[in-house]
Amino acid sequence: MRRISGKVQMTYEEIVALLGYAGGHEQVVRIMTTARTEVVGIPISVDTHVTAHEVYLRPAGSDETEIAISLAAIEKVELA
């Protein structure tokens, strides 16, 4: 983590690592985006390839819904 303007900000590597860990253990995460939107779900795929660069989440209790979020739009991730 790094400190910017008095705030602690997660690095790209920390975000990807936590999303990968949570997805591998089917744990729910809370994602805060740079637009201050909060999204909660279980990561089902983290694609760091330059053409995709996104994470797919499955909201808890909804097996048929997937939410895609650009990794560049993620400010913070925490286990929920």
Measured between alpha carbons, how far is 32 from 8 in angstroms, rounded to an integer?
Answer: 13
pLDDT value at residue 1: 56
CATH number of the domain encompassing residue 47: 2.30.30.100
pLDDT value at residue 2: 55
pLDDT value at residue 6: 57
How many CA atoms lie within 13 Å of 23's alpha carbon, on the beta-carbon side? 16
Residue 8's pLDDT band (cuts 50, 70, 90): low
**pLDDT higher than 90, residue 51:** no
Question: How many domains is the chain partitioned into structurally?
Answer: 1
Tell me the residue range of the domain where 50 lies. Answer: 2-79
